């Protein structure tokens, strides 16, 4: 009782010491959930627009319908990439993410590829399976009937077939491959150049099996829409992802900062950007068929900033915003907040410079080429900015007293006896 009294006295004192209008953790995680809900709702609506465009392409294959489908795919990536910051720290998102955004892929699993791609590899005996051309095959000892290509076949049988991560059969990048085809230009200019005739039925069909190819594109797009629908619902009012972050605001704040830091450092700066540069490998770019990697990186970075500033601009220009993590940090350490805001702006600017360079005609894969000093400087500029902001994100965790709040349960914390087993 005495302890409790002391605790409430202490917390009352602490509250008095803060500015009157300081954001409350519960409100801040509420903003976070609102932004997530809007981002996934926009991902869903733009994916539905893609679905309509794909239906048009299949019904009337032509230059214009193929281009319209590609344009719709590119538009769909804008909100989705801003959602990637929700992935780390939210197990619901992380467990699901592989279905919609897995990368890199052994695209020969799905459709025809150039001879330079090679065949099956030591790591993946299905790297060149070509489901479009192969209605029946054996997979890990089971006979597979792929006569009819359905979302279930793609999602439950083909995706990560044989337990191999690069057997990506579903999601944005599978659809991207079906629209653009392989980018055979290496680190030279040009994206994938799949002809619309790959979807013509009858005599004009190129590369064979156009009807099955169309069925694959349709099924993969439909599956993407239904997967996004699931996640949009999870963040809407009453959804499980929203409940997970709002139930315990401290854990919710921890999830927010975990997402920001893990995406900035290990994932984007490391896995996606620096590694690609060090491998000089044109396939080490996130949207490798469409040459859209500059946008993919840019909107990833913007998503991190959205979470901190508590503000997301939707494709229609309207803004979802509310009490922010930034305000919460500022109340504890105003200097840290100013620093982190400046660093986030700097990383968005550095990623913007890559985007501008790509839009002026030098694709991301060209920037990766060995000996391209200017491209390397642009990429490393963004990598360094992302690494820099990670240190401040870590400091924000400390400033908010969130050290030691594990979002995912650890064995020893949940079960002290586990350590003795």
Using the rule CB under 8 A, give the single segment among 14-22, 107-115, 270-278, 289-297 that binds other proteins. Answer: 270-278
What dihedral angle (degrees, nearest 10) is formed by the CA atoms of 137, 138, 144, 149? Answer: -40
Residue for token digits 């896995």? Answer: 271
DSSP reduced 3-state for 159: coil
Q: What are the residues whose beta carbons fall under 8 Å from the beta carbon of 417, sequence distance 6 or more? A: none
Q: Is 120 an interacting residue with respect to other proteins (CB under 8 A)?
A: no
CA angle 42, 45, 48 (to 5 degrees): 150
By CB under 8 A, the residues from 194 to 253 that bind other proteins are: none
Q: Between 22 and 41, how does the x/- string for binding to other proteins read (CB under 8 A)?
A: --------------------
Q: 187, 262, 292, 305: which one contacts other proteins (CB under 8 A)?
A: 262
Please calculate the CA angle 404-405-407 and round it to the nearest 5 degrees.
Answer: 135
Answer yes or no whether residue 116 interacts with other proteins by CB under 8 A.
no
The answer to whether residue 360 forms part of the interface with other proteins (CB under 8 A) is no
Whole-angstrom distance, CA of residue 194 vs CA of residue 114: 12
Q: Which residues contact 74 (CB under 8 A, 6 or more apart)?
A: 290, 292, 295
Q: Is the Cβ of residue 280 or residue 321 nearer to other proteins in the bound state?
A: 280
Member of 77, 212, 218, 272 binding other proteins (CB under 8 A)? 272
Q: Which helix (H) or strand (E) holds 319?
A: strand 319-321
Q: Applying CB under 8 A, does 398 fall inside the site for other proteins?
A: yes
Q: How far is the CB of 419 from other proteins (least distance, A)?
A: 5
**In angstroms, what is the minimal distance from the CB of 389 to other proteins?**
11
182 binds other proteins (CB under 8 A): no
Q: Shortest distance, CB of residue 390 to other proteins, whole angstroms?
A: 5
Residue placing its CB nearer to other proteins in the complex, 331 or 405: 405
Assigned token pair, 22 = 């300081």
Output the smallest distance, CB 19 to other proteins, in A: 23
Do 177 and 107 meet the contact criterion of CB atoms below 8 Å apart? yes
Q: Work out whether strand 319-321 and strand 311-313 pair parallel, antiparallel, or are unpaired.
A: antiparallel
162 part of the interface to other proteins, by CB under 8 A:
yes
CB 104, CB 126: distance < 8 Å: no
Rule CB under 8 A: choose which of 67, 150, 280, 311 binds other proteins: 280
Q: Which of 354, 390, 400, 407 binds other proteins (CB under 8 A)?
A: 390
Tell me how far, at minimum, the Cβ of 394 lies from other proteins, in Å. Answer: 5
Which one, 60 or 278, has the nearer CB to other proteins?
278
Site residues for other proteins, 91-110, by CB under 8 A, read 104
Which residue stretch of 60-68, 116-124, 146-154, 219-227 sits at the interface with other proteins (rule: CB under 8 A)? 116-124
- Piece of 152-160, 240-248, 265-273, 352-360 that binds other proteins (CB under 8 A): 265-273
CB atoms within 10 A of CB 231: 26
Size of the site for other proteins (CB under 8 A): 46
Residue choice 8, 11, 52, 140 for contact with other proteins (CB under 8 A): 140
CB of 1 to other proteins, least distance (A): 28
404 part of the interface to other proteins, by CB under 8 A: yes
What is the C-alpha to C-alpha distance for residues 316 and 325, in angstroms, rounded to an integer? 25
Angle at 245 between CA 244 and CA 250, to 5 degrees: 125
**Of the listed pieces 34-42, 151-159, 223-231, 276-284, which binds other proteins according to CB under 8 A?**
276-284
Instruction: Choose the stretch contacting other proteins; rule: CB under 8 A; options: 1-9, 29-37, 75-83, 280-288.
Output: 280-288
Largest distance between two CA atoms of the chain: 86
Residue 87: which residues within 8 A CB-CB, separation 6 or more? 93, 94, 97, 259, 263
Candidate list 42, 111, 227, 267; residue touching other proteins; CB under 8 A: 267
- C-alpha distances out from residue 180 to 177, 236, 364, Å: 5, 33, 16
CB 259 within 8 A of CB 87: yes
The phi and psi torsions of 10 (rounded to 5 degrees) equal -60, -45
**Distance from CA of residue 353 to its chain's centroid?**
20
Q: Does 163 bind other proteins (CB under 8 A)?
A: yes
Cα distances (Å, whole numbers) of residue 35 to 29, 41, 88, 89, 296: 10, 10, 16, 15, 19
The tokens for 109 are 């699993």
| Minimum distance, C-beta of residue 89 to other proteins, in the bound complex (Å) | 10
Contacts to other proteins by CB under 8 A: 88, 104, 121-123, 140, 162-163, 165-166, 261-262, 264-268, 270-272, 274-275, 277-281, 283, 370-371, 390, 393-395, 398, 403-406, 410-413, 418-419, 421
């Amino acid at each position: 009782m005495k302890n409790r009294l002391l605790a409430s006295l202490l917390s009352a004192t602490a509250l008095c010491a803060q500015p009157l209008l300081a954001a409350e953790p519960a409100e801040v995680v509420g903003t976070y959930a609102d932004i997530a809900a809007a981002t996934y709702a926009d991902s869903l609506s733009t994916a539905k627009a893609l679905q309509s465009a794909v239906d048009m392409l299949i019904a009337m294959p032509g230059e214009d319908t193929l281009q319209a489908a590609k344009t719709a795919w590119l538009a769909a990536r804008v909100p989705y990439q801003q959602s990637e910051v929700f992935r780390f720290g939210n197990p619901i998102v992380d467990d699901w993410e592989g279905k919609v955004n897995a990368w890199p892929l052994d695209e020969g699993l799905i459709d025809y590829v150039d001879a330079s791609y090679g065949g099956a590899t030591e790591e993946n005996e299905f790297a060149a399976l070509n489901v479009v051309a192969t209605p029946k095959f054996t997979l890990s000892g089971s006979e597979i009937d792929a006569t009819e290509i359905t979302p279930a076949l793609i999602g439950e049988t083909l995706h990560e077939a044989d337990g191999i991560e690069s057997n990506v059969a579903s999601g944005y990048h599978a659809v991207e491959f079906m629209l653009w085809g392989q980018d055979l230009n290496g680190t030279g200019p040009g994206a994938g150049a799949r002809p619309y005739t790959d979807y013509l039925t009858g005599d004009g069909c190129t590369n064979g099996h156009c009807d099955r190819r169309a069925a694959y594109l349709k099924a993969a797009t439909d599956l993407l829409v239904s997967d996004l629908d699931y996640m949009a619902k999870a963040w809407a009012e009453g959804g499980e992802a929203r409940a997970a972050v709002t139930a315990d605001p401290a854990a919710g704040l921890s999830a927010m900062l975990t997402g920001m830091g893990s995406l900035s450092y290990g994932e984007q700066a490391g896995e996606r950007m620096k590694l690609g540069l060090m491998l000089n490998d044109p396939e080490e770019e996130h949207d490798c068929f469409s040459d859209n990697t500059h946008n993919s990186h840019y909107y990833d970075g913007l998503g991190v900033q959205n979470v901190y500033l508590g503000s997301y601009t939707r494709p229609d220009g309207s803004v979802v915003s509310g009490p922010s993590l930034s305000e919460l940090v500022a109340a504890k350490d105003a200097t840290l907040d100013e620093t982190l805001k400046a660093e986030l702006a700097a990383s968005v600017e550095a990623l913007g410079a890559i985007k501008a360079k790509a839009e002026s005609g030098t694709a991301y894969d060209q920037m990766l080429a060995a000996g391209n000093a200017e491209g390397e400087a642009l990429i490393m500029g963004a990598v360094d900015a992302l690494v820099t902001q990670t240190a401040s994100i870590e400091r924000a965790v400390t400033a908010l007293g969130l050290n030691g709040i594990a979002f995912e349960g650890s064995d020893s914390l949940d079960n002290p006896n586990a350590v003795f087993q």
